[in-house]
Structure 1
Amino acid sequence: MTIQLWHCQNSRSFRVLWALEEIGADYDLHMLCFPPRVNNKAYLEDNPLGTVPFLRDGETEMTESCAMLEYLGARYGAGSGCARSPEDADFGAYLNWLHHGEATLTFPQTVVLRYARFEPDARKLPQAVEDYREWFLARLRKTEATLSDGRAFLLPSGFSMADISVAYAAQLAITIGMREQMPEQVMRWFTGLTERPAFIRTREIEAKGHIAAGYPERQPVVLP
């Protein structure tokens, strides 16, 4: 059965779409308007959380983007070089970076987005926005230090799903206007990743994607 992915432009589901392209999996893509739980009520029948990404693979249903990366790498990534197994020397580092990208790096940016852009003016919190911007930049120290030797990927053994996880956090930061504050080595590494054929294909797929059948035909909300 073909993998099904529900996706919104520029959301965490970008990680999963990119991963699917890297491993060459067969999948069906369902593009939704953001936020889907508000603009696509029918989607709640598929995913009661109303969040993206949502992945269905036969009887398996998943809602966490980094868990999807681990799942896809373990189940379908053989030969792609995207995953690491328990026998690999850098397996622990692989798992740590995989979850670091979400739990440590993406989380503070969601606070920035909510209280700088998504809440009505009366509920915006400029101090929280600034505090969580600084939190995010501080948490990039580990990534910057790891890349300080000029390596192209987070793991010495090469590209992996861990790069996809952390790269999305960098991509989101740039999207919300933090490019000038990004550390030098992080930007060098991220720029290199954007030249990967699978990344380029993912961007092209997003650009020409249409709203999935059965959902309201509204234009997706794309962050500037």
Structure 2
Amino acid sequence: MTKPILYTCARSRGLRATWAAEEAGVDIDLRVLPFPPRHMAPDYLQENPLGTVPLLIDQLGDEMGPYESRMTESCAIAHYLCSRGGPSDFIVLPGERDYAEYLDFTYHADATITFPQTVFMRFAIFEKDKGLEEAGHAYAKWFHKRLVKVEQRLEGREYLCADRFTVADICVGYALILAQNVGLDEGVPDSLKAYRERLTARPAYKRAFEREETQRKALETSN
């Protein structure tokens, strides 16, 4: 079986996928691109016409022959990598307690939490000169208000689901990591900052982060 190929940019949502691979022990071919890839690595558009990261390409096969799977959603990729070799403790299965909550928080991470962060980044950071900074800060407030669901869920819990670390923690945890990186940490509750510290102390997270950073620095040196 060939290695899955993961295209990403360091510290982007693709970190969810790199982190999941490290947790699950999946050997991936990691390819870190310069940001933004649609402009800095135009050839990448041949692989992903959207020009977004992450992109996972996996060469597989069954009784009908070889085939290729392609995925572009970071939370789905994280779930896929942690279940690629079969059931694991990193996912919650149908019939298990918290299966519904596992699905809910895994999807909630991007659809409800990371979404306003990306709008904030676009209007208040990347395109600040276009006069839409105020709109960006409005989305920052939206992000902070949407943290209440995670905050309440973690009252009396170390992790979100099934009394163990799962992909839901990877997906939600990345949004909290991103908040710290882009200047949105002031509105993050202390309990969620403590949760983030627990997650980023995991050896697999540290390996994933360092792996991406090593490739990012190599790219900058070569350019």
- TM-score clears 0.5: yes
Q: Whole-Å Cα distance in 2 between the matches of residues 193 and 101 of structure 1? A: 15
Among residues 137, 140, 156, which one is paired with 1:133 in the alignment? Answer: 140
Which one-letter code corresponds to 1:198 in the other structure? Answer: A
- Deviation string 1:114-157 (CA, Å, 9 cap, x unpaired) is 00111151x131221121011000000011111122x2211142
Aligned to 2:65: none
Q: Which runs of 5+ in 1 are unaligned?
A: none
Aligned to 1:27: 28
Instruction: Tell me if 1:88 matches 2:96.
Output: yes
Residue 48 of structure 1 aligns to a residue whose secondary structure is coil
Instruction: Tell me if 1:196 matches 2:202.
Output: yes
Give the alignment's Cα RMSD to 1 decimal: 1.8
Q: Does the 8 A contact of 2:56 with 2:71 survive in 1?
A: yes
Q: Which runs of 5+ in 2 are unaligned?
A: 60-67
Aligned to 1:181: 187
Q: Whole-Å Cα distance in 2 between the matches of residues 71 and 137 of structure 1? A: 29
**Would you say how many aligned residue pairs link Structure 1 and Structure 2?**
213
Which one-letter code corresponds to 1:31 in the other structure? Answer: V
Instruction: Tell me if 1:9 matches 2:10.
Output: yes
Q: Whole-Å Cα distance in 1 between the matches of residues 29 and 196 of structure 2? A: 27
Q: Does the 8 A contact of 2:6 with 2:54 survive in 1?
A: yes
Aligned to 1:112: 120
Identity %: 43
Aligned to 1:43: 44
Among residues 64, 78, 84, which one is paired with 2:87 in the alignment? Answer: 78
Alpha-carbon offset, residue 26 of structure 1: 1.2
Aligned to 1:170: 176
Q: Does the 8 A contact of 1:7 with 1:53 survive in 2?
A: yes
Which one-letter code corresponds to 1:202 in the other structure? Answer: A
- Deviation string 1:166-221 (CA, Å, 9 cap, x unpaired) is 01111111111122221111111111001101001111112211589xxxx5569x
Aligned to 2:58: 57
Q: Does the 8 A contact of 2:14 with 2:74 survive in 1?
A: yes
Aligned to 1:146: 153
Q: Whole-Å Cα distance in 2 between the matches of residues 219 and 184 of structure 1? A: 37
- Deviation string 1:86-136 (CA, Å, 9 cap, x unpaired) is 121211100001011000000001110000111151x13122112101100
Which one-letter code corresponds to 2:117 in the other structure? Answer: Q
- Structure 1 runs of 4+ with >6 Å offset: none
Q: Does the 8 A contact of 1:97 with 1:166 survive in 2?
A: yes
Which one-letter code corresponds to 2:146 in the other structure? Answer: R
Q: Whole-Å Cα distance in 1 between the matches of residues 35 and 116 of structure 2? A: 19
Q: Does the 8 A contact of 2:34 with 2:216 survive in 1?
A: no
